[in-house]
Chains A and B, each alone.
Chain A
Amino acid sequence: MPSDYARTLPIGGVPGRALLRLHLDPWLLLALGAIVSFGLLVLYSASHQDLNTLTNQMLRIGVAFAAMFIAAQLNPRLYLRWAPALYILGIVLLIAVLLFGTTVKGSQRWLDLPGLPSFQPSELMKLAVPLAIAWYFHARPLPPRIRHVLVALGLCVLPTALIVPQPDLGTGLMVAAGGVAVILMSGIRWRVVGALTLLAALASPALWLVMTPYQKGRVLTFLDPGRQPQDAGWNIIQSKAAIGSGGFSGKDLFNGTQSQLDFLPESQTDFIIAVIGEELGLVGIALLLVLYLLVVARALLMATEAQDTFGRLAAGGLTLVFFAYVFVNVGMVSGLLPVVGVPLPLVSYGGTSAVTLLVGFGIVMSVYAHGTR
């Protein structure tokens, strides 16, 4: 079977077989590589063609790919065994952050532990929550019983409730999304999904209670962008102007006035999709979304090949987290969703989310490589 499969690979012969032996999936690698290349090109433009920014980002992406490579080598059983421990460690660290975290730019997200570089425990939870819920469902019959679903929901709400008040609505939402994705994949009936959605909608005012005034302002601004045109609303007005003025084919690379003349805030980070829209137009955005869709399709396909429930659910959940990033980011920049701090995966400047997401895909590859093929 591996040999048959190898024949269908985009990279044949010795390199193809080498990739297989290294537990790396060429299709997924290719799609991720395309996204990363596209992202670097746009970042180069968004940074006013600054080579420093570009090399920095390449370095970070390199580190992330290395992390993915390592993650792909580990046996899924290892993840299964360590998932609960990782989850509990994450929760402990999140509580520690709330108690003695370092405040950067008004948010208490970082933890400075002696002998370790400072890091964000919330980032760890993006992996830990899907893994933990997959672990929980692994030992139980599927489709899960309602109380199992409720327990799983609890596993996902607890870290979210610890992250949102940091304040970090974006990461909190992504962590919750990872948990919910696994629950969805677990096979609960659509009617339950419907009931739970209704429940979530009814419970959403509870989220309002843990949100900071700043986050509330973001939501209000989303509902009415003209509310603070000079402040929070400015971002969304400028990003829509960038995308809208780009039109079908854009103003060409390096020529977007919104981004090049600094009207577009956060143009290298959270709002980089607006640079794509302005300079490469609808075509550029569609191309990127298709690439993301390819990644999701391939990763989901790989998840179905997993050898056990844990592998399937973990791989599926991690893939959907990735898509949640894409949807929330593009949705917020285009004014469909409130502005929450979620980067565009593998394109926005910064290494943290790239490492988390690529480690996720490393786990997907590991699951696939040890799968049933």
Chain B
Amino acid sequence: MIRTVPGWHAVKGVFDRDRARQRAQLKDVDQERRDFASRTLVVFLVVAVMCCVLIARMVWLTVFKHDEYRTISEDNRIQMFGVPPPRGRIYDRGGNLLADNVPVFSIFVIPELAENVDATLSEIRALVELSDEEIEAFHTLASESYPHAPVRVKLHITPEERAVVEVNRHRLNGVLVKPDTVRYYPYGKVMAHAVGSVRRKTAEDIRRLDRRRYSRTQFVGKRGVEAFYEHSLHGEPGSRQVEVDAHGREQRELDRNPPIPGQNLNLHLDASLQVAAGEALGERRGAVVAIDPRSGGILAMASEPGYDPNLFVTGLEATVYDELVNSPKKPLFNRAANGRYAPGSTFKPVVGLAALAAGVTDWQRTIVDKGEYRLPNSRRVFRDWSWTKDDTGGQGVVDLHRAIYRSSNVYFYDLGAKLPVDALPRFAAQLGYGRVLSIDVADAAPGLLPDSDWKMGARGETWYPGDNVNLSIGQGDLLATPLQLATVAAIIANRGRIVRPRMLLDNAANLPEFKGGEVVGRVAGEGLGDDDWQRMVDAMEAVVHLGNQGYRQNGTAWAYIGQDIGYRMAGKSGTAQVVGIAQGEEYNEEELDEFSRKHAWFMAFAPVDEPRIAVCVLVENGGSGSSVAGPVAREVIDHYLLPTLAASGQPASTALASESAPQDPSPSEHRVLAQPKPSQEAEGSRRPRRVAAGASPTAS
């Protein structure tokens, strides 16, 4: 049937050369056998060729691609693990530890070994306190790691907790208590803002930091010295070359490269003075910065209220953290370096010096201060701080000296009006206003020093004479931090020699973060001589020491700190408005809520002739600078100076008349200073704590 198809013969010929045999439909046994044998031979040859293909493939892989695959295989099995370096410790000038590394024990669970992780966690929970957040964190960590890897459940358990867990270990499968090292701040709250703190590395840190250096680092410096010297404190990680299996299990160590520990730091801070500064502020909100004017070294930098930096190391519960963040008292806020406030009257010495430099005034020129000031052709009245509705105030006939110790607003209004535009900001900038003069304070703010350019840029307005008048008493837009004002005090104490505030005590380490530690020179001013600086210091000394002169004749701070003082101190008070007071309105503290009251400032240095400490005190909403901030400054300077004055064999009362003790700038001297003061008891009892009632609601 198929043969009827046209063209079949042609196809047929292709298919069969033994057509005849096929047609016969008979099996030719021998022929079939011969055919099969030859066919088998061909098949075998095909098999052999296929074998050769396989061999060729193997040769390709093992010979030509050998290097490539060896690399893949080695990369599989060999892993580099970073070994975190121990963090550098931080010491104060007396060798007291401010930041230490301490061993702690933590509870770990190996999910693979714990048959039921949830059951194991609740078993642990029955033994030690475990928050929901810790359990949540555990699950997050566990989901990211191998089941055989230990995952931390609780960091830093107490010895009692450790004992309880160890005793129950037999029934806690897969539970592990392992040692770990964490940062510890022995001074807790006291040093929180000065030294700063480390915190657990965050996702943002991972993006920001060098991956290699930080691969195994758990904590990163986030504030203060810890943040500024992060690079040096961190050190260089070591590495371990480890053979692992496909499940990441460590098989053996192939090579080890030890880490280079972080740099230990010695700071200018004086722990004992820092404690005293915190205590002097007490429950009030505020800041104290103390600087050694000779070196610029920061002896104390307190900001109250503080927080316990150790909380951030061991992990903080959300509720506690929220409380810290949301508290109206802002405990996490470093007021000392980062708090910006109008400097008020503390700016007057600077204005006076600027005016002398500009030749606008001299020490002889007098004006009559009737308690109010008016610019020509203006109806706006600028008033003295002593003005009330019933008494226009006014300091009478004032020269520059009296204008400082009586803090005459009108005198400085007049200077402000006389000073050329931008002369004052240009001069003030030299003392560190509006810029960061400090070398190594992590969160130092530049504050704000307004000038005509700034005003045009920020407000789009030209500089009016009224701006100069406002600025001349430290109001207007001028903002400065306590650290800046302590620096100003130090520069005045140095009679114009500029120092830059610094935390780091020794330069020997040559840390990469520490830049520009050189002396910056002197404050420049054409008409400004050494004598002018000395007379300004004299005027500031009168602020504290001029007393028993009668109504409106004493130094503004004398009544509060100057009556029983055992050494010569120069100072200047300041009171800065927080809310605007309308023209003709009287400032009434009782009517204002706590956070609207004036800020109290006091900046000072002592001993006057050879200053060894310059201090700035700020009490937020404290009220009057002299009565509230002044005594705090006195307490801090007392703490620092009295022991050495006593040690030099001079009774405090005679030190007043005599020169200060010979000075030894080496740190060893301060090691003595850091000891508890032997004479403090006697000094404290002899001095009336506060002559006038403190304006601060929390004053003791």
To the question of whether A and B form a pair in one complex, the answer is: yes
Residues of A within 8 A of B50 (CB): 323, 327
CB pair B72–A241 under 8 Å, yes or no, is yes
Top 9 nearest A-B pairs (CB, nearest first) are A244-B69, A245-B73, A261-B245, A262-B246, A241-B72, A245-B70, A282-B62, A244-B61, A263-B246
Task: Report the minimal beta-carbon distance from B74 to chain A, rounded to whole angstroms.
Answer: 8
B14 to A191, Cβ gap below 8 A? Answer: yes
Q: Write 17 A-B pairs (CB below 8 A) sorted by A numbering.
A: A145-B22, A187-B32, A191-B15, A237-B72, A238-B76, A241-B76, A243-B58, A257-B76, A258-B77, A303-B40, A304-B37, A316-B36, A316-B43, A320-B43, A323-B50, A327-B54, A334-B54
Interface membership of A10, Cβ < 8 A: no
B23-54 at interface with A (beta carbon < 8 Å): 25-27, 32-33, 35-37, 39-40, 43-44, 47-48, 50-51, 53-54
A48 shortest CB reach to chain B, Å: 11
Q: Smallest CB-CB separation from B17: which chain A residue? A: A189
Whether the Cβ atoms of A334 and B36 lie closer than 8 Å is no
A contact residues around B25 at 8 Å (CB):
141
Q: Do B27 and A240 have beta carbons less than 8 Å apart? A: no
Please indicate the chain A residues that have their CB under 8 angstroms from the CB of B59 in the complex.
282
Choose among B43, B61, B65 the residue that contacts A184 (Cβ–Cβ < 8 A): B43
Which B residues between 581 and 629 are near A, CB-CB below 8 angstroms? none
Interface assignment of B126: CB less than 8 Å from any CB of chain A? no
How far apart are A140's CB and chain B's nearest CB, in angstroms? 9
Which A residues are in CB contact (< 8 Å) with B61?
A: 240, 243-244, 277, 334-335
Q: What's the Cα separation between A187 and B73 when bound, in Å?
A: 48
In the complex, A143→B38 CA distance in Å?
13
Cβ–Cβ contact A247 & B40, under 8 A? no
Q: Give the CA-CA distance A327 to B58 in the complex, in Å.
A: 13
Interface status of A146 (Cβ within 8 A of chain B): yes
State which of A52-60, A62-70, A159-167, A285-293 sits at the interface with chain B: A285-293
Residue B251 lies at the interface, judged by CB distance under 8 Å to chain A: yes
| Residue among B22, B62, B251 making CB contact with A261, cutoff 8 Å | B251
Which residues from B are CB-within-8-Å of A261?
A: 76-77, 243-246, 251
Determine if A142 and B76 form an interchain contact, defined as CB atoms under 8 angstroms apart: no
Q: Is A192 engaged at the interface, CB distance under 8 Å to the other chain? A: yes
Q: Mark A29-70, 1 if CB is under 8 A from B, else 0.
A: 000000000000000000000000000000000000000000
B76 touches A282 (CB 8 A): no
Question: Shortest beta-carbon distance, B550 to chain A, in Å?
Answer: 90
Taking A141-B25, A263-B76, A303-B40 as known contacts, 8 extra A-B pairs with beta carbons closer than 8 A to each other, sorted by chain A number, are: A240-B61, A241-B69, A247-B66, A258-B73, A262-B245, A281-B62, A282-B59, A304-B37
Question: In this complex, what residue of B is CB-closest to A309?
Answer: B32
Candidate in B14, B62, B72, B77 with the most chain A CB atoms within 10 angstroms:
B62
Q: Is the CB of A143 within 8 A of B47?
A: no
Enumerate A60-110 residues with CB–CB distance to B below 8 Å: none
Contact status B69-A257, CB under 8 Å: no
Cβ-defined contact, A300 with B22, below 8 A = no
Q: What residues of chain B lie closer than 8 Å to A142, measured between beta carbons?
A: 27, 32, 35
Please classify how large the interface on chain B is, using the bins under 10, 10 to 19, 20 to 34, 35 or more. Answer: 35 or more
Neighbouring B residues of A245 by C-beta, 8 Å: 66, 69-70, 72-74
A242 at the interface (CB under 8 A from B): yes
Complex-state Cα separation, A331 to B27, whole angstroms: 39
Interface residues of B in 67-107 (CB under 8 A from A): 68-70, 72-74, 76-77
Per-residue CB proximity of A290-303 to B under 8 Å, as 1/0?
00110011001101
B248 to chain A, nearest CB (A): 10
Chain A residue, CB-CB nearest to B73: A245
Q: In the assembled complex, how far is the CB of residue A115 from the closest CB belonging to chain B, in whole angstroms?
A: 38
A330 in contact (CB, < 8 A): yes
Return B249 CB to nearest CB of chain A, in Å.
9
> A194 → chain B, closest Cβ, in Å?
11
- Nearest chain A CB to B607 CB, angstrom units: 74
Q: Interface size for chain A: under 10, 10 to 19, 20 to 34, or 35 or more residues?
A: 35 or more
Is A289 a contact of B54 with CB atoms below 8 Å?
yes
Collect the chain A residues with CB atoms within 8 Å of residue B58's CB. Answer: 243, 277, 282, 285-286, 334
Q: Does B458 contact A (CB under 8 A)?
A: no
Expressed in whole angstroms, the minimum distance between the Cβ of A296 and any Cβ of chain B is: 6
State in angstroms the CA–CA spacing of A290 and B584 once bound together: 112
Interface residue? A312 (CB, 8 A): yes
Given contacts A241-B72, A242-B73, A261-B246, whether A141 and B22 have CB atoms under 8 Å apart is: yes
Minimum CB–CB distance for B511 against chain A, Å: 44
A208 to B240, CA, bound (A): 50
Interchain nearest-CB distance for A277 vs B (Å): 7
A153 in the interface (beta carbon within 8 A): no
Given contacts A327-B54, A334-B57, contact A312 B76 (CB under 8 A): no
Proximity string of chain A (177-210) to chain B, C-beta cutoff 8 Å, 1 when within and 0 when not: 0000000110101011000000000000000000
**Chain A residue at smallest Cβ distance from B26:** A141
Q: Is B381 an interface residue (CB 8 A)?
A: no
| Complex: A127 Cα to B245 Cα, angstroms | 41
A185–B65 CA distance with the chains assembled, in angstroms: 38
Q: A297 — which chain B residues lie within 8 A by C-beta?
A: 44
A223: Cβ under 8 A from any B Cβ: no
B247 interfacial by beta-carbon distance below 8 Å: yes
In contact, A185 and B43 (Cβ under 8 angstroms): yes
Is B320 interfacial (CB 8 A cutoff)? no
Contact across chains for B63 and A240 when beta carbons are under 8 A apart:
no
Best-surrounded residue of A248, A281, A304 (most CB of chain B within 10 A) = A304
Task: Name the distance in Å between B520's Cβ and chain A's nearest Cβ.
Answer: 59
Q: Which of A143, A192, A240, A300 contacts B69 (CB 8 A)?
A: A240
Closest Cβ of chain A to B64, distance in Å, is: 9
A356 to B37, CA, bound (A): 26
Give the residue name and chain of the B residue nearest to A145 (CB). B22
Interface assignment of A336: CB less than 8 Å from any CB of chain B: yes
Alpha-carbon gap, A262 to B249, bound state (A): 10
Q: Which of A212-252 contact B (CB under 8 A)?
A: 237-238, 240-248
Query: In the assembled complex, how far is the CB of residue B690 from the closest CB belonging to chain A, in whole angstroms?
Result: 73
Q: How far is the CA of A184 from the CA of B50 in the complex (A)?
A: 16
Residues of chain B within 8 A of A335, CB atoms compared:
57, 61
Assess the A248–B63 pair: CB atoms within 8 A.
yes
Among B16, B21, B66, contact of A244 (Cβ-Cβ < 8 Å):
B66
CB-defined interface of A11-41 with B at 8 Å, one 1/0 digit per residue?
0000000000000000000000000000000
Interface contact B70-A244, CB-CB below 8 Å: yes
Measured in the bound complex, the distance between the Cα atoms of B536 and A23 in whole Å is 125
User: Within residues 331 to 367 of chain A, which ones have a CB less than 8 A from any CB in chain B?
Assistant: 331, 334-336
Instruction: Check B76 against A185 for contact (C-beta < 8 Å).
Output: no
Inside 8 A of A309's CB, which chain B residues have their CB?
Answer: 27, 32, 36
Q: A331–B247 Cα gap in the complex (Å)?
A: 27
What are the interface flags for A132-168 relative to B under an 8 Å C-beta threshold, 1 for contact and 0 otherwise? 0000000001110110000000000000000000000
**Chain A min CB distance to B326 (Å):** 44
Q: Which of B48, B245, B246 counts the most chain A CB atoms within 10 A?
A: B246
CB distance from B3 to the nearest CB of A (A): 13
Per the bound structure, the CA–CA distance linking A257 and B74 in Å amounts to 8
Residues of B within 8 A of A320 (CB): 43, 47
Give the shortest distance, in Å, between B292 (CB) and chain A (any CB). Answer: 61
| A238, B54: Cα distance in complex, Å | 18
Determine the chain B residues whose CB is within 8 A of the CB of A281 once the complex forms: 62
Least CB separation from B27: chain A residue: A141
Q: Does B164 contact A (CB under 8 A)?
A: no
At the interface, yes or no: B672 with Cβ under 8 Å from chain A? no
* Nearest Cβ on chain A to B631's Cβ, whole angstroms: 70
A243 in contact with B40 given A187-B35, A261-B76, A263-B76 (CB within 8 Å):
no
Residue of A nearest to B18 (CB): A143
In the assembled complex, how far is the CB of residue B242 from the closest CB belonging to chain A, in whole angstroms? 12
B699 within 8 Å of A (CB atoms): no
Q: Which residues of B contact A185 (CB under 8 A)?
A: 36, 39-40, 43
* Nearest CB in chain B: distance from A24 CB, A: 22
Which residues on A sit within 8 Å (CB–CB) of B36?
Answer: 185, 187, 303-304, 309, 312, 316
Give the distance to chain A from B52, nearest Cβ to Cβ, in Å.
Answer: 9
Smallest CB–CB gap between A319 and chain B, Å? Answer: 9
Q: How far is the CA of A335 from the CA of B57 in the complex (A)?
A: 9
